[in-house]
């Protein structure tokens, strides 16, 4: 999965647009889509399309998708690719509101 997200960095806490690519369990951030092809390198907000991602080593990334729909896509993709052990608690979007769905996924990620 690849898409532009707005991400808050560690050194500079302003929100910046980054091109993000998720391949299996690796999430990479690039300045542009072209950079993702040329290189292989690897806060609370009131935005409804915002996400908080925490790495195993304790780094936290605050990101915002371009829409609530893209946010749900990212959360679902991360959930299914990175946290496969949590699948028994999977919620179906048809049976839960967006807020309830996000809350359940946050609980599942916190349980890792």
CATH of the domain at 58: 2.30.29.30
Q: Which domain holds residue 69?
A: 2-110
Helix axes 98-110, 68-82, angle to 10 degrees: 30
If you search the block for the tokens 């496969």, which residue do you land on?
A: 84
pLDDT at 77 over 80: yes
For residue 79, what pLDDT is reported? 77
Number of domains in the chain: 1
Sheet holding 60-64, edge to edge: 26-30, 15-23, 2-8, 60-64, 50-54
For residue 104, what pLDDT is reported? 56
Nearest to 98 by CA among 81, 79, 76: 76
CB 112 within 8 A of CB 83: yes
For residue 41, what pLDDT is reported? 42
d(CA 18, CA 2): 11
């Amino acid at each position: 999965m690849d898409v532009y997200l707005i991400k808050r960095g560690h050194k500079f806490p302003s929100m910046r647009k980054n091109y993000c690519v998720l391949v299996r369990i690796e999430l990479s951030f690039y300045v542009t889509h072209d950079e993702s092809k040329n290189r292989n390198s690897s806060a609370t907000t009131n935005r409804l399309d915002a996400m908080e991602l925490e790495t195993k080593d304790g780094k936290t990334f605050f990101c915002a998708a371009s829409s609530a729909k893209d946010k749900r896509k990212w959360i679902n993709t991360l959930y299914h690719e990175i946290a496969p052990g949590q699948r028994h608690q999977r919620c179906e979007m048809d049976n839960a509101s967006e807020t309830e769905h996000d809350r359940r996924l946050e609980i599942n990620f916190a349980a890792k």
